């Protein structure tokens, strides 16, 4: 299994607190990898380090065979590494369709073309249809339900044909039907060749969907392996239940 994403000895300190502490882990190509761990174990900080929102104090991040440590979020996105946020960040004053179009990762020359061209409309239209958002394509994103916003954010980061998508708690705050929908979309896209790294608290979602599972505790991984082994691992139980 070749690694698409490789993190070596990453460390990030906030005012004396080691949020990520010498973490090394890798995400294999064509996997749906889960990243779990108790609250405050550094999952979100690690996400921010990987996606260029934060610079690691120490350590390296390699993506698709290249060292991308300290590269900014935009460049990483254009290289095929994209993410969603826990709180479903969409642009409320843009229409649903525009929320997709704006995520196209354009060159400077393309920026000076039509706001929404007919080819944009086609490209966005396919994703909107896939995510069942076509009927609301012309509404403002602020008029969507929370679950729909989560879907929209997910759909938008696919506009750049990414290799790796990081999902930050895709099921948080959405209803059970929407959780199933989310799972289906991840499976579909995985089948189409996208690798996923997912932070998630919903264990049944993780167990159904992800393999392998990485467990983070106090800023570094303490377990990496098959989902069936997670529940029996004493280190993991320790981290979750406290000793």
Partner 1 sequence: MSKALRLSALRGAAFFGLLAALPSFNLAHWVLNMLVFTLMYAAMSSAWNLVGGFTGYPSLGHAAFFGVGAYAVALWFQHHAIHSGYEPFVILPLVGVLAGLIGLPVAAVAMRTRADVFAIVTITLLFVAQTLAFNLHSITHGAQGLSIDPAPFSPATFERPFYYVLVGLLALAMGITYLTIKSKVGLSLASIRADEDKARGIGVRVSGLKLLTFCVSVGLTSMVGGVWAYYEGFVYPQFAFDPLITISIVLMTFLGGRGTLWGPILGAFVLELSQQNLAYRLGGSQFYLIAYALVFLLIMLLLPRGILPTIQDRLRYRRRRAGAAEGDDRPSAPAPRTAAAKVAVGGGERA
Partner 2 sequence: MHAFIQGLILGLLTAGVYALMASGQTLIFGIMNVINLAQGAMVILSAYISYQLFKSFGIDPFLAIPIVTVGMFVIGVAVQLLFLRPLKREDRAELSLLVTFAIALLIEGIMSITWKTNYRSINTSYANSSWTVFGYQITLVRLWACVLSLVALGLLYVLLNKTRFGRAVRATVQNPESARLLGVESDRVAALGFGLGSATAAAAGSVYGLLYAFYPGSHYDLISLLLSIVVLGGLGSIGGAMVGAVVVSTSSAIVASTISPAWSAMTFFVILIVVLVVRPRGLFGSTARGAI
Which range, of 21-29, 63-71, 155-163, 228-236, touches partner 1 by CB under 8 A? 155-163
- Shortest distance (Å) from residue 74 CB to partner 1: 5
**CA-CA distance, 222 to 211, in Å (whole number)?**
16
Q: Is the dihedral of CA 10, 13, 16, 20 positive or negative?
A: negative
CA distance 155 to 150: 9
**Residue 39 lies near partner 2 (rule: CB under 8 A):** no
Q: Is 91 left (phi over 0), alpha (psi -120 to 50) or beta?
A: beta
Q: How far is the CB of 48 from partner 2 (least distance, A)?
A: 6
Interaction between residue 125 and partner 1 (CB under 8 A): no
Q: Select from 21, 29, 53, 233 the one that contacts partner 1 (CB under 8 A).
A: 53
* Distance from C-alpha of 106 to C-alpha of 135, rounded to nearest angstrom: 26
- Our finding on whether 48 is near partner 2 (CB under 8 A) is yes
Q: What one-character-per-residue DSSP string does 123-141 give?
A: HHHHHHHHTT-GGGTTSBG
Question: In the complex with partner 1, which residue's Cβ is closer, 13 or 116?
Answer: 116
Least Å distance, CB 60 to partner 2, is 21
For 136, the token pair is 């609301």
Q: Which residues bind partner 1 (CB under 8 A)?
A: 51-53, 72-74, 77-78, 82-83, 85, 89, 91-95, 98, 101-106, 108, 110-116, 135-136, 138-140, 143, 156-157, 159-160
């Amino acid at each position: 299994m070749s690694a698409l994403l490789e993190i070596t000895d990453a460390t990030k300190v906030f005012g004396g607190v080691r949020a990520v502490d010498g973490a090394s882990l890798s995400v294999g190509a064509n996997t749906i990898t889960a990243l779990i761990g108790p609250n405050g174990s550094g999952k979100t900080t690690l996400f921010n380090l990987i996606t260029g929102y934060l610079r690691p104090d120490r350590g390296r991040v390699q993506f698709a065979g290249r060292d991308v440590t300290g590269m900014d979020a935009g460049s990483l996105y254009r290289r095929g590494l994209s993410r969603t946020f826990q709180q479903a960040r969409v642009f409320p004053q843009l229409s649903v369709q525009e929320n997709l179009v704006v995520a196209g990762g354009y060159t400077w020359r393309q920026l000076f073309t039509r706001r929404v061209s007919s080819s944009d409309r086609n490209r966005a239209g396919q994703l909107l249809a896939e995510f069942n958002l076509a009927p609301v394509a012309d509404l403002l994103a602020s008029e969507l339900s929370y679950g729909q916003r989560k879907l929209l954010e997910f759909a938008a980061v696919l506009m750049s044909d990414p290799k790796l998508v990081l999902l930050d708690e895709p099921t948080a705050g959405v209803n059970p039907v929407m959780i199933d929908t989310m799972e289906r979309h991840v499976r579909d896209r995985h089948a189409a060749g996208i690798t996923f790294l997912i932070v998630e608290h919903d264990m049944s979602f993780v167990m159904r969907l992800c393999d392998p599972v990485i467990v983070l505790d106090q800023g570094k991984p303490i377990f990496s392996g098959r989902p069936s082994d997670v529940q029996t691992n004493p280190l993991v139980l320790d981290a979750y239940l406290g000793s």
